[in-house]
Amino acid sequence: MTMHNTLSLTSASKLLQQYGLLREMIQHHESQDSVSNSEKATDSTHSRNEIWSLNPYYFANFDADECFAHATYDTRDIKPGTLLFIKGNFKPEYLLDADSKGLSAYVAEQSYAEYTNAVGLIVTDVRKAMSILSAAFFGNPQEKLTVVGITGTKGKTTTAYFTHAILNAHSGSKAALFSSVDNCLDGVNYVESDLTTPESFDAFKMMREAVDNGMKYLVMEVSSQAYKVNRVYGLKFDVAAFLNISPDHISPIEHPTFEDYLYCKRQIIANTKRLVLNADADHADLLLQDAERNNVPVTTFARIQKDEIDNSSCEAMNSDDLEDNHIDYCASVNDDDYAELLTPDYIAMPTGNSESHCISIRDTDEDNGDEDVHYSTVDDFSLAIAGDFNYENALAAIAIAGELSINQDTDLAALKSIENIKIPGRMEVFKDAQSNTIAVVDYAHNYISTKALLDFVDERYGKENPRITLVTGSAGNKAYDRRKEIVQAAQNRIYQFIFTTED
């Protein structure tokens, strides 16, 4: 990895003060031998053996302008010239050999001066500080990328893969991906990921690698926890997509209430330049108000059904049958304040072939001020991944691409690249002809996704009256309602349950 680090104690302290995060800097000024042989002070913040200052040039035996050679949040990874981020359930004993390894400075919410001679940058929120300083340490790689963030209760991974496929096809494999399944930092190779949204330090480190690999775009899933614990603090998205919201991740170790969950999800709106919003999402009116308050332009999308269209020429519902390449969207608007909720900019609707959808974009040049809204066809799309609901995710990806000036006129082939996308663990269908058994593997982990899965099975195979067995599991100690919701979604719809451990 090419180093672009210009982060020193001086620049770090300036950045932290700029964001209102720095309380003070502290350094022990006795030798480590005398510290280890003396009685530890019970309150180190009042120890007379400490130097306190906001001036980075005030500390002994320290070059405040020398750039840190290394950064980490793992004490096992300390090397000469290291800046260490101390977060979580940290044990001070981890620092006992830190000086001999070469610890230069640390960032923490409390002083550890009695355990190390390194300079401590004491901050009000170490996770926010880690995000800001990590970006600087890796040379602010986000500024070299067009960054797309995708959030929602369901559909993040599929939408991220679709968006990545479009951007990769358009740019010649110059798009990176952070997802809950895989990460891709070179546009070609995929490596299994650990978190939906990486820790801020890891995220900026991977961004740096992506930039060094020549990447121009980054598509990343953004979880509610990413905002809850400040993994994306200070990161501004070029485009953000809000897919949907429903109760999930409610537990003592995640979100105490749905309100908290939704609030964390909403933070992406204040941190993007443009928003792509599902017009049918619950609380869409509130999300639009968030966007208006933050002066963020909004593009909306919706998957619609034939009975929502008032146009006799569209009986077959495919692109060839759209008279004059326009359709009239006839949803009645009773409240002008929420008209945008009912007139999406992008729509997807089933064609005569149940395996495909026609995707269209609102033609504002043809709107004439009456209740009719006109759309121009992008194309018919037939996805390799199963499930009609995935056309909503495809539509979101196409809307995101449109915000980046990739459309049917500039690069239809890139948009069509989503048709071939398959994702491990997302609506994978396996057939055994000998036993006449069909298995569908999907990450259906709550009510809304389990219902969507069973709706697909019923629509696709219901006429054959199959015996449906649902094999499911759920992680312990979090999202307690998931088990109940899975049962509720499947009740009276399946032959038998098999409950097992997660994954």
pLDDT < 70 regions, the chain? 1-3, 30-48, 247-253, 255, 306-342, 353-354, 366-371, 475-480, 502-503
What does the block give as tokens for 64? 């405040």
Please measure the distance between the N-terminal and C-terminal CA atoms of the chain and give it in whole angstroms: 34
Going from N- to C-terminal start, the domains of the chain cover 9-137, 141-420, 428-500
273, 296 in Cβ contact below 8 A? yes
Cβ atoms 240, 400 nearer than 8 A: no
Q: How far apart are CA 13 and CA 121, in angstroms?
A: 7
Helix (H) or strand (E) holding 71: strand 70-72
pLDDT digits (tens, 9 = 90+) for 141-162: 999 999 999 999 899 999 999 9
122 with 26: CB under 8 angstroms?
A: yes
pLDDT at 464: 79
Residue 246: predicted pLDDT: 82
Q: Looking at residue 478, what is its pLDDT? A: 63
293 close to 314: Cβ distance less than 8 angstroms: no
pLDDT at 146: 99
Task: Name 321's Cβ contacts closer than 8 Å, sequence gap at least 6.
Answer: 313, 314, 315
CATH of 141-420, one of 3.30.420.40, 1.10.3720.10, 3.40.50.970, 3.40.1190.10: 3.40.1190.10
Pairing of strands 428-432, 437-441: antiparallel
CATH of span 9-137: 3.40.1390.10
pLDDT of res. 426: 84
d(CA 481, CA 476): 11
